[in-house]
């Protein structure tokens, strides 16, 4: 098991879904967790207590509106004062679907800001400290849509393709930081396909209803067009992969984009 005791991880969008699953995996390995996301006080306390129960020595919430660089700077300054991020997971993201000709301008700007520009700002703030310490992990949650496109998702696809490119540049710039012993500084993308999160549940339920309530049949129909395995991923599987990338043994895995997509991008 990867030992992250003494390490601090900032996971954006970590109050639910994939972000929470990654935070859970890192907490279980002993990392302090800087929690971030859109949530009320009760949910924040619940998440922080939950992560500490899993093994994190500290889990605290840090606020920051990722649409605004000044707010991101304040977020990163607060995390730096807390000890600085040894592990940075850029997970927060939003989506809006519409044909290119009908995509609202404000949706384009918001999706690019949160899904791409925010990662630039957090990485710019965190990575010099990682290099000084000789250990750092940046794990950017891209998407299968950072590798292939789909209709009606112009800003999302543009942002995720951009995130893959940004990650490759950062991986090259920091490739010599640290050592095999210290673990080095790596930057990678995880590219999930269909994953069991709240955002897809209404689609699953609608398909299952057409199959007499058979949820597995509903999932298979939903995935049939693109994900050959016909199986969704569980967020905990993404968390397990993120945790493994944090191990010192992964010091030479950098600049890659790993699909977790049941064969989607193999077609």
* Residues annotated catalytic, as ranges: 156
* Residue 228, burial from CB neighbour count under 10 angstroms (0-12, 13-18, 19+): middle
Q: Is the Cβ–Cβ distance between 195 and 234 less than 8 Å?
A: yes
DSSP letter at 262 equals T
| CA atoms of 28 and 108, how far apart (whole Å) | 37
DSSP state string for 58-120: -EEE----TT-HHHHHHHHHHHHHTT--SEEEE---------GGG--HHHHHHHHIIIIIHHH
């Amino acid at each position: 098991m990867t030992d992250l005791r003494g390490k601090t991880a900032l996971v954006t969008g970590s109050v639910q879904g994939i972000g929470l699953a990654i935070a859970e995996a890192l907490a279980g390995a002993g990392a302090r967790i800087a929690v971030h996301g859109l949530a009320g006080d009760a949910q924040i306390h619940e998440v922080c207590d939950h992560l500490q129960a899993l093994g994190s020595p500290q889990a605290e919430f840090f606020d920051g509106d990722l649409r605004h660089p000044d707010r991101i700077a304040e977020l990163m300054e607060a995390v730096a004062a807390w000890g600085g991020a040894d592990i940075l997971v850029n997970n927060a993201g939003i989506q809006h679907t519409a044909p290119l000709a009908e995509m609202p301008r404000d949706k384009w700007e918001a999706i690019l800001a949160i899904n791409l520009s925010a990662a630039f700002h957090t990485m710019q703030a965190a990575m010099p400290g990682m290099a000084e310490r000789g250990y750092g992990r940046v794990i950017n949650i891209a998407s299968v849509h950072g590798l292939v496109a789909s209709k009606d998702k112009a800003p999302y696809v543009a942002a995720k393709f951009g995130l893959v490119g940004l990650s490759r540049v950062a991986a090259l710039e920091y490739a010599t930081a640290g050592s095999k012993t210290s673990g080095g500084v790596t930057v990678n993308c995880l590219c999930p396909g269909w994953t069991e999160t709240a955002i897809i549940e209404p689609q699953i339920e609608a398909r299952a209803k057409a199959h007499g309530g058979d949820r597995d049949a509903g999932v298979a129909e939903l995935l049939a067009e693109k994900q050959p395995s016909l199986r969704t991923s569980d967020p905990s599987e993404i968390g397990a992969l993120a945790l493994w990338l944090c191990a010192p043994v992964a010091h030479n895995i950098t600049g890659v984009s790993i699909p977790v997509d049941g064969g989607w991008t193999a077609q």
